[in-house]
Chain A
Amino acid sequence: MDKSQASGKLIHSGDRRHVRRILAVSSGGGHWVELMRLIPAFEGHHTTFVTVDKAYQADVRGFDFYIVHDVTRWNKIRWLYTIVQLLKIVLMVRPHVVISTGALPGYFAVRIGKMFGCRTIWVDSLANVDELSMSGARIGKCADLWLTQWPHLAKPDGPEYAGQVI
């Protein structure tokens, strides 16, 4: 992937008022690959990435980067640990915008962001063709911009369809 344009930390305009702090959160695998494809939308802002494996840092050199414990719906006892990690990151970064491509850690991040008054974006994965992901279906009320990548899953009350990661 050409990361030469991945310069989200650069402030292009001289007007700092328009620079937003973005917290971009995803799990590994496809969720991360999808998030990487959204990077051009963050240009001109200050983006901090959060994922579950430090090896992904190589994809986002030059950006702030944190990892949290990976969790799924199956290991509920560890949820709290991830939630505390995300809380710390949100308090430290103070993002204007929290965006996630899933899965559960991203869901928590969006909910925490909402609690702290951030504007929130959920981009449900391309993999969810027949129905939204479990997180994606439940995040509707907390996501200010709630997107599906499949037109047939869009509804008048959300989620909205606005294109795909490809």
Chain B
Amino acid sequence: MRIDLIYPEIVILSLALLILLISFLRPKRPNYLGYLSLIGLIGAFLTCGKILGEESFLFEGMFRIDAMSSWVKMLFLVLSLLVTLASIDFYLTHPEEGGYYALLLFSLGGAMIMASSTDLITLFLGLELSTLPCFILVSLRKKAKSIEGALKYFFLALIATALFVYGISIFYGLIGSSNFLVISNALKTRIIYLPLVLATILVTVGFSFKMALVPFHFWAPDAYEGAPTLVAAFLAVIPKCGILIAMVRFFSLTLSQIRLDWLILFVTLSFFTMTFGNIMALTQDNVKRMLAYSSVAHSGYLLVGLAVGTKLAIEGMLLYLMVYTIANLGAFSVIFACTKEEKEGLLSDFSGMGERAPLLSFAMTLFLLSLVGIPPLAGFMGKIHLFGAAVEAGFAWLAVVGVLNSVISLGYYLKVVKEMYFVAASERGIIKISPLLAVALGIEVLAVLLIGIYPAPFIELAQFSAGILPKGFF
């Protein structure tokens, strides 16, 4: 077995343990664990870049390295890098410094495992590893709201896990294996229809809970609102996208034989998730909550890609994943920069930001407009690719729903812009941010502009990683 193929996971998980160890042994602060975590992430990124393009099964077919997994892991690592960059100065003297980074890394490791899993058991491991640390991360601030959010998240995730495991057990009972390859081969010959559909539904519900798809999204707004802002940012991108990639592997590749059955499930989920998420976001006056609903809505857009299912659509989905995660992370980072974890992130906390922090407000405007999909920003390229694929495959109505939803989303994103530029500031004073946070924001702004203006290399990346599709596992 080629151990070098799982170096990224090894680096991340052992780094997490190391950080925990250091913070046990050296309770005095500062420990500069953020920098350590930064170095580890860069190391993992490089090892991941090295194996980009390799294709192999590991652990008896339970773990898959291919273009999609490597590329998505690199994306995750970059996103975690940006989160870490934004965190360093704030958490340097924070009592939970060690725990914070360790838990982030564990969750990242779980998402990376999910992206590679080709066995329901590995998938389950990855899923739990990526969500369990999040409960603690959400309650890190130890405020009533945070505890409430974490508890809600925790209990609903428990139910989801139970349903998911039940689904797995039915698959195992039916087919005698939990391996994706074996399942997909077995489906070609004999299908016991009803239990199979039941198992599929259970697994889907499990996924939907964890990804906060409507109507399984109730934990998300509370958890995001209660969580420290950067944790919310992390929550909205990394575990979510890990699940999405696992879903591509499980549904598009493994269950392709019964595509018509899960298709209807996903089309419905996607429709309600984007519409309901956007409509609920309109009524929020807490920006973190608003972005929570907005990220629910964006999961709906991403599901369009999964539901349409063509190679073009998966490509679009992967590109959208990239542009959504970067812009979303950017928006949360701006909230972090403006509120410094002291304020709740209400709309009124942003009044007059255009005067107090012109660059931050400019960045926020770019991120939000990119999330709407206004050209020439990255979100536009993502949307045109994703909805283009839907039109091409004959899902024009889903594309219509999608673009009209983008118009609805403009309504609430503009509320933030309006607050920043057109409402007089309630406080005085220029907002200062740490240089590392500024670097992170700078990278995000550049990415949003670059992908929007010259998307070709990024589209190639998405094509490259979606290249596994027509071939399946072989």
* Chains A and B come from one and the same complex: no
Interface residues, chain A, CB within 8 Å of chain B?
none
Interface positions of B (Cβ within 8 A of A): none
